[in-house]
């Protein structure tokens, strides 16, 4: 948090917002509408919170132009209140500055290249010929394998593993426990046994990405696994070998993506979705949470395969009907044949 805070006039300039009210007020933090202090900035992002905007104790509220009259507090008016609020958080609660240096307990191979402005934390391991860029951070107990690369201003959280030959781009943040570049699940069957296929590709993560805690990105079997720039992956996601995820895509937690899936740019995937291998999803597609995608999607759009929530008793009735669905289809087909109609109810 900024020690001396910032006037709303200065803050508005930084986030490109218009002030309605007292722009001399000083703010030092962000807060929710319900619990903000008198030196905080809150934001109104959903219609259901309009009442809270009218009673908030916050010094200022970020609102869309249509909501400018929902509160008498000073308003910061912006077309995208959520994005403006994100910029406020970064300004009022900046990340701790990087303290350059290599901890005495870290093990860094002599052939590794660590920028003098980078930070390597306690018990970290940096392999031969690995490269760590300017102002990058390697937190405690993290591991960079031989020939791995970490870009400028990138951050590896505690216990992150970046396997040999793999790379993470500039300004990317990798949270605790993530594994980038472990072997993909490549096996060949012979004589009733499994033969491991050595995974000789790499895992390449672009710039400005975020990789959630305990997410795993497998290295390629032959070609590389590629995560393009500005991709946001939530916690506990599995990305199989040889996948490609296009720039600006966002994927929520517990999603599983099987090998060789190609996901386009600006794709959004809800939590716990299951994406089969060797398929493609076009740019701009939205996949709802818990959806199973078993074949390629040809046209961008919004897709959902998960059933809606039902009371248990009603769900049981629906499940019984689903078990009889094939029988019912056969009976309807037979009836149509007898009546001389098509499946659309039209004359044959």
Catalytic residue positions?
241
How far, CA to CA in Å, does 274 sit from each of 159, 254, 266, 278? 27, 9, 18, 13
Closest CA to 40 of 96, 95, 94, 92: 92
215 CB burial (10 A radius; 0-12, 13-18, 19+): buried
117 CB burial (10 A radius; 0-12, 13-18, 19+): middle
Neighbours of 98 (CB within 10 A): 15
Residue 144 near residue 125, CB atoms below 8 Å: yes
Neighbours of 5 (CB within 10 A): 16
Closest CA to 203 of 148, 139, 135: 148
What the block records as the tokens of 42 is 């809150």
What the block records as the tokens of 84 is 């403006």
What the block records as the tokens of 286 is 């939205």
């Amino acid at each position: 948090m900024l020690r001396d805070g910032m006037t709303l006039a200065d803050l508005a300039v930084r986030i490109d917002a218009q002030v309605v009210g007292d722009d001399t007020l000083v703010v030092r933090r962000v807060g929710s509408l319900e619990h903000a202090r008198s030196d905080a900035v809150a934001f109104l992002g959903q219609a259901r919170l309009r009442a809270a905007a009218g009673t908030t104790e916050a010094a200022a509220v970020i609102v869309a132009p249509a909501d400018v009259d929902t509160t008498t507090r000073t308003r910061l008016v912006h077309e995208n209140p959520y994005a403006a609020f994100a910029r406020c958080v970064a300004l009022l609660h900046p990340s701790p500055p990087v303290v350059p240096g290599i901890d005495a307990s870290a093990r860094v191979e002599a052939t590794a290249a660590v920028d003098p402005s980078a930070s390597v934390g306690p018990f970290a391991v940096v392999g031969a010929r690995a490269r760590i860029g300017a102002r990058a951070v390697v937190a405690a107990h993290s591991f960079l394998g031989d020939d791995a690369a970490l870009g400028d201003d990138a951050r590896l959280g505690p216990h992150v593993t970046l396997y040999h030959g793999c790379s993470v781009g500039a300004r990317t943040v990798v949270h605790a426990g993530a594994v980038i570049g472990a072997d993909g699940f490549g096996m060949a069957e012979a004589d009733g046994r499994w033969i491991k296929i050595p995974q000789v590709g790499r895992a390449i993560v672009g710039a400005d990405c975020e990789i959630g805690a305990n997410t795993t990105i497998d290295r390629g079997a032959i070609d590389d696994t590629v995560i393009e720039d500005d991709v946001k992956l939530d916690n506990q996601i599995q990305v199989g070998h040889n996948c490609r995820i296009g720039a600006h895509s966002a994927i929520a937690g517990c999603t599983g993506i099987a090998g060789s899936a190609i996901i386009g740019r600006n794709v959004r995937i809800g939590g716990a979705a299951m994406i089969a291998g060797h398929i493609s999803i076009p740019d701009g597609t939205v996949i709802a949470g818990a959806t199973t995608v078993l074949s390629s999607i040809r046209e961008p759009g919004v897709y959902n395969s998960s059933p809606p929530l039902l009371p248990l008793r009603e769900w049981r009735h629906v499940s019984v009907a689903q078990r009889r669905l094939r029988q019912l289809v056969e009976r309807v087909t037979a009836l149509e044949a007898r009546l001389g109609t098509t499946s659309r109810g039209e004359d044959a």
